Amino acid sequence: MAYKMFGIPNCDTVKKARVALEKKKIDYEFVDFKKTPPTAEDLKRWEKVFGELPANKKGPTFRKIKDEFESASHSEQVNLLLKNSSAIKRPILESNSKVVCFGYDEATYKKL
């Protein structure tokens, strides 16, 4: 099974998730939001699973754009997240383009 993790390398939650995969010797491709920003299609795919756009509402980047985000149309929200990829919930772990986990959930990662 091929895994792909989307995130930012210096994020503590991403670091925990990467360590969990590496401890289990699970190969994965890491996609750095800063070097390879997500696409609108990525956001829409994640939204279907997450139930809403995967905004990291607790993070400092989101707090900077919170008012603009909350008053924006859906397409404007997508564009805001694309421009501010640090405001996207992370990590996002996928297998064959299907979301396995948003964020780091120890129980989910133990089952991999």
In the chain, what are the domains? 3-111 (3.40.30.10)
State if pTM tops 0.95: no
- Tell me the pLDDT of the chain (112 aa) as tens digits: 689 999 999 999 999 999 999 999 999 999 999 999 999 999 999 999 999 999 999 999 999 999 999 999 999 999 999 999 999 999 999 999 899 999 999 999 999 9
Based on C-alpha coordinates, what's the Rg of the chain?
Answer: 14
CA-CA distance, 39 to 6, in Å (whole number)?
12
Order of all β-strands in the sheet with 92-95: 28-32, 3-7, 92-95, 98-102
User: Which pLDDT score, from 0 to 100, does residue 27 have?
Assistant: 94
pLDDT of residue 1: 63
CB atoms within 10 A of CB 90: 23
Structure tokens at 72: 């924006």
